[in-house]
Amino acid sequence: MKGYRKRKETFFKRKSKSGTNRGKSVVIPPGDQHGGEASTSGLEIHEDSISIPGSSDPTSGAAGQTTLEQGSALEVLHQQPTTSYNTVRSLRARKVVPKKCLPARNVFEGMRIVNNFKLVEMMNSIYQLHDAQHAACPGIQLEIASEKKQGMAWRFVYRCKICKFKSPEYKLFMEIEQSHKPGPNPALINRDLQSVLLDTPMGPTRTRVLLSGLDIPPPTATGMRRTANKVAEQVTQLATEDMNERLEEVKATKLARGDNRPDVIDVSVDARYNAIGFGSTKKPGQRASQAYSIAMEKNTEMEYIVAMAVENKLCWTGAWLRGEGYEVQCPGGHEGCTANLAAVAPHSEFEMGKAMAENIFMKGMLVRYAVTDGDAKSAAGFNSFCSKLIPQWKVTRMADTVHLSSTQFKHCNNAVFSRDMFPDASTKADYNTRRLLLSKDVRARCNAICKELMNISNGDLTHVTCKIPRIIDATLACYADDHSKCLLDSVVCTGDVTDNWWTRSKFLGPNQLPPLQMNETDKKLMADILKMRLSEQAFQLTRYGYTTQKTKPSIGSCGVNLPKNVNYSRNFSARVSSTILKYNCGIARIYKKKRDIAYQEESTIPCRRTLPWTG
C-alpha cells in the first residue's frame, strides 16, 4: 500500500514539474486493478464522484471523443505517434480533472457494504486497544477518523472523541492474497460483483446508478471494467472446461449403457442474433453485430450444452485506435481485440456450426445427427467439418417436430382454398376464422397421428411409411364427413357416429364447423399440407422425435444477461459462457466454481466465512 501511494505521489510531482497541466488540474494516475482506490486521508480525490464530460465508455462507443483540457492524455498521445499499444492504453487511463469537481473531504455519510465477521472482529479489537492504551478515559465514544474505498470494499480508522485514542486501519472485507504482485490485495466483493453482473443485463454504468440510488458510494467505472474483463476471461475459460467435461460425461454414460459408438453424439443446434429486427436499413446484411450459437447433446436426459460459437464484429479498442490515427486492422489484429468477424461480413450459422463441430471433434467426439429448426445451415456446417476429416462420415440434419408442425400450421392458415370449402362462411372474416380453426385442427391431428404411429412402430416412423397414402386418403374423407375409411386407416378416428374425430377435436365440433366441401384443387392442397408431416421425408427427418425445444429456452435465457438491444462488445462471449455454466451446473454450483477460480489464481488467505453451499 505504501509503495502504491509513493508511486502515486511521484507521478504527481513529475506531472506538475513538466507543467503540462498549468497547475489548474489534477492528473489521476492509471488506477490499480482493484477498482480505483481513493482516500480521504491521503490525497483528497474521490474518483467515483468525479464526472468527466465525454469520458470513454465502451458501451456507448464514445471512446476517442473525449474533450479534455490542454495537457491531456490524448495530446501526449498525439506527440508520440510511435508509442506502443500498451503505452497508448496506459496514457488513455490518465484523465485531467478540474479541482472544482473534487468533493469536500471526509464525507462519511451513506451506506457501506462491510463483512459481518470483520466488523465484529474490529469492534472487539478497538475496545481492547482503547482500554489498554487509555485506561483513564471515562467512556469510549467512537467516530470515524478516515475511510478508504477499494471498489466496493472499505477500510476504516476510528478515534475516540474524548481521549486521543486512534485505532489502526481495519479492512472490512475478504481479501484475495496476492504475494507475487505489488499493490493492495484485491477484495473478494469486487470479483463477486462482476461475476454476478455477468448474469444480469447491467453493466458498470447501470450498477453505479443502482448503488448511488441506495446511497452506497459506487466503485469507479474504470475499475469495474478492469475487474470485469479479468472475471470475463476466467468465466469463458471455465465454460470451455465445463463443456469439455460434459462431453466426457456423455461418453462415459454411453459407454455404461453398452453403446458401441460412445464417441458419437447427437446434438440440437440453435443460434441467436443480438438485434431486435433482422434486416437493416443502414448496414449491409443483418442488423445484428453479434451472434452466437449453442449445441446441446441429445444422448443423456440432462441435455448438456456441449459447444458454443460466438461471432462478434465489435471492438471498441480498435475503433478508438483507428480514430486516433493508428493503423489497426481488426478483427484480431491487435492485442485484446474482441472482434472475430469483419464488420461487413454476414453472420453465418454455417461457420458457427463448423466451429462447434471442431470443438467437439477436438475432444474426440463426432456428431451424427444435428437437430435444427427451419434453418438447416448449422447442420450443413457440422457436416462440412466432419466430412472433410472423415470422407465417409455424414452429419444428418434432423427436423424439429415442433417447428415442423408450426410451419404446417402457417401454410394451412395462408392457403387459398375455394370459397365453397366452408359452406357457412358468408364473409371474409368468417372464412378466415374457419380456416384458422381448420389449421389448428390439422396440426393437432397430424401430431396425434405421428404419436400413434410412433407407438405402433416402436419409435421409428420409417417402419410405417407404407401406410401414409391410405392415412392421407382416410383423413381427407374424414374432413368431408365420410368416416367409411376411418376405422381401418385414419389412425385417430374410430368412424363411430357419436365418437369420431369431429366430436373429439376441440377445434371442430365445439365450434360447429360444418363438414368441408372440398373440390379437387382443395383436396390436392390439403393433401400437400398433410404431407408436410405425413410423408417419408418428414418421417426420416423426425424419426427420433428430437426437438430443439429445450435448446430454445436455454438460448433464450441468454436474453436475461444479453438483452437484444444492448451490445456488450468486450464481454459478449463471457455473458454467453455464464449462461451456459448456469444451465449446465445450476446457479449455486456455478458461483462456487467462479469463486474457487478466483482463489485458485491468487493463493488465498484463510477464509472464516461458512459458505451457504458448504453447510
Smaller CB distance to Zn ion: residue 395 or 486? 486
Give the DSSP letter string of 91-160. Answer: HHH-EEEEGGGSPPS----S-----HHHHHHHHHHHHHHHHHH-TT-SS--EEEEEEEEETTEEEEEEEE
- Taking CB under 5 A as the rule, does residue 491 contact Zn ion? no
Q: Between residue 139 and residue 158, which ones bind Zn ion under the rule CB under 5 A? A: 140
Residue 187 near Zn ion by CB under 5 A: no
CA distance readout (Å), 177 to 39, 168, 181, 338: 21, 20, 9, 30
Asked if 516 interacts with Zn ion (CB under 5 A), we say no
Determine which helix (DSSP H) or strand (DSSP E) holds 78, and give its type and residue range. helix 73-79
Rule CB under 5 A: choose which of 91, 337, 415, 607 binds Zn ion. 337
480 binds Zn ion (CB under 5 A): no
Judged by CB under 5 A, the residue of 471, 486, 518, 532 near Zn ion is 486
Q: Which residues are within 8 A (CB) of 611 and not within 5 positions of it... i.e. 6 or more apart? A: 592, 595
Nearest CB to Zn ion, comparing residues 123 and 611? 123
Which of residues 52, 62, 114, 137 is near Zn ion by CB under 5 A?
Answer: 137
**Of the candidate residues 155, 191, 298, 483, the single one contacting Zn ion (CB under 5 A):** 483
Contacts 24+ apart (CB under 8 A), 340-343: 340/310, 340/311, 340/312, 341/311, 341/312, 341/313, 342/313, 343/289, 343/313
- Closer Cβ to Zn ion, 137 or 216, answer by number: 137
Burial of 10 (0-12, 13-18, 19+ CB in 10 A): exposed
Which residue of 222, 500, 561, 578 would you call a contact of Zn ion, by CB under 5 A? 500
- Does residue 570 belong to the site contacting Zn ion (CB under 5 A)? no
Residue with cell 434453418: 375
Residue 449 binds to Zn ion (criterion: CB under 5 A): no
Q: How many CB atoms lie within 10 A of CB 378?
A: 30
- Residue 314 touches Zn ion, criterion: CB under 5 A: no
Applying CB under 5 A, which part among 235-243, 375-383, 417-425, 471-479 lies near Zn ion?
471-479
Nearer to Zn ion, 330 or 399 (CB): 330
Q: Is residue 367 within the footprint of Zn ion (CB under 5 A)?
A: no
Stretch that binds Zn ion, among 92-100, 315-323, 464-472, 582-590 (CB under 5 A): 315-323
* Pairing, β 142-150 against β 153-160: antiparallel
CA pair distance 492, 189, nearest whole angstrom: 61
Q: Answer whether 46's CB lies under 8 Å from 208's CB.
A: no
Q: What angle do CA 431, 435, 441 make, to 5 degrees?
A: 150
Question: Does position 162 bind Zn ion by CB under 5 A?
Answer: yes
Does the protein bind Zn ion through residue 425 (CB under 5 A)?
no
* Residue numbers 199-258 binding Zn ion by CB under 5 A: none
For Zn ion, give the closer residue by CB, 342 or 605.
342
Taking the least distance from each CB to Zn ion, the nearer of 332 and 545 is 332
Q: How many CB atoms lie within 10 A of CB 337?
A: 16
User: Which residues does 339 contact at the CB level (< 8 Å), separation at least 6?
Assistant: 312, 313, 314, 315, 318, 330, 331, 332
Q: How many residues touch Zn ion (CB under 5 A)?
A: 18
| The binder of Zn ion chosen from 29, 219, 318, 381 (CB under 5 A) | 318
Q: What is the largest CA-CA distance in the chain?
A: 110
Pick the binder of Zn ion from 163, 202, 216, 448 (CB under 5 A): 163
CB nearer to Zn ion: pick between 160 and 187: 160
For residue 160, the minimal CB distance to Zn ion (Å) is 3
Q: What is the DSSP letter of 513?
A: P
- Identity of the residue, 322 or 531, whose beta carbon is nearer to Zn ion in the bound complex: 322
Which residues of the chain form contacts with Zn ion (CB under 5 A)? Answer: 134, 137, 140, 160, 162-163, 165, 315, 318, 330, 337, 339, 478, 483, 486, 493, 500-501
